[in-house]
Amino acid sequence: MNRIVGVVQARMGSSRLPGKVLRPLAGRSVLGRVVRAARDSGVLAELVVATSTDGVDDAVVEECRRLAVPCHRGSVDDVLGRFVGAVDRYPGDAVMRFTADCPLLDPEIVTLVARVYQAVPGLDYVSTSIARTLPRGLDVEIIRADVLRTLDRLATDHHRVHVTSYAYTHPELFRVLGLTLTPDRSDLRLTLDTEQDWALVRAVVDHFGDVSVPLAKLADWLTGQPALRSLNADVRQKRLEES
């Protein structure tokens, strides 16, 4: 019971930063950093990358081979269907969702979310982004595998792109927990979606090197780097309805 499978969604297409998942950081791809952080959490029975069947994503498949991580291919736009296909091939009781544009993912937060999920009986879904206290780029979520399949039957439109959004926007149907952490670091943006984000992420990796940096250590350092923090402070996050 509680076999947790991690699924990383990754593809080369991006409206604002094409090819971002394979950009190099200190000799490791962005995807490679996400895979390493997820593995280092120590809570996953299996980790799989879910990419698309588009030819451009052959490069993602090749990188998965290099990283020795399984890869599942599915629809470009139906990301929920892609996740379900991955979990059908690599079964588990629960699924942790990761996105390949989070190269600063903190393994300690991954571990924490998994432990909270395991400690509270009957939960359907746990996420750090329902009430945001983490920087964008460090959020973690976990969902029961059978609930993911329920979403596959119910979800339409943008909910199929965002995978779990039908669950947390319908709390009357599912037992949902929003996990908050202190201190609140939601003012930081550590995801990778634009060239401004890339400049900040690259500066972080140039300073710390090819390691996963705990959030507290990273946030403390960034506190003393106002010019660096300002690089992507004005980047607008896409709304849920925007695919």
Provide, rounded to the nearest whole percent, the portion of the chain with pLDDT above 90. 88
The string of pLDDT tens digits covering residues 177-216 is: 999 999 999 999 999 999 999 999 999 999 999 999 999 9
Cis omega (within 30 of 0) on the bond before 183? yes
What is the domain extent for residue 23?
A: 4-232
Number of domains observed in the structure of the chain: 1
Q: What is the mean pLDDT of residues 41-66?
A: 97
> Residue 73: which H helix or E strand, with range?
strand 71-74
Q: Is residue 179 part of a domain?
A: yes
Phi, psi of 7 (to 5 degrees): -125, 125
Q: Is residue 240 part of a domain?
A: no
Q: Is residue 194 part of a domain?
A: yes
Under DSSP, the state recorded for 236 is P
Instruction: Report whether 130 contacts 140 (CB < 8 A).
Output: no
CA distance 61 to 66: 9
Q: Is residue 243 part of a domain?
A: no
Number of other CB atoms surrounding residue 10 within 10 Å: 27
The string of pLDDT tens digits covering residues 79-124 is: 999 999 999 999 999 999 999 999 999 999 999 999 999 999 999 9
The string of pLDDT tens digits covering residues 16-50 is: 898 999 999 999 999 999 999 999 999 999 999 99
Instruction: Report whether 21 contacts 12 (CB < 8 A).
Output: yes
Q: What is the pLDDT of residue 15?
A: 78
Q: Is residue 242 part of a domain?
A: no
Q: Which residue has the tokens 């593809």?
A: 11
**28-37, 55-64, 164-173: which has the minimum mean pLDDT?**
164-173
Q: Which residue has the tokens 């959030």?
A: 215
Q: Is residue 239 part of a domain?
A: no
Instruction: Report whether 130 contacts 59 (CB < 8 A).
Output: no
Q: Is residue 41 part of a domain?
A: yes
Domain of residue 76, CATH code? 3.90.550.10
Q: Is residue 237 part of a domain?
A: no
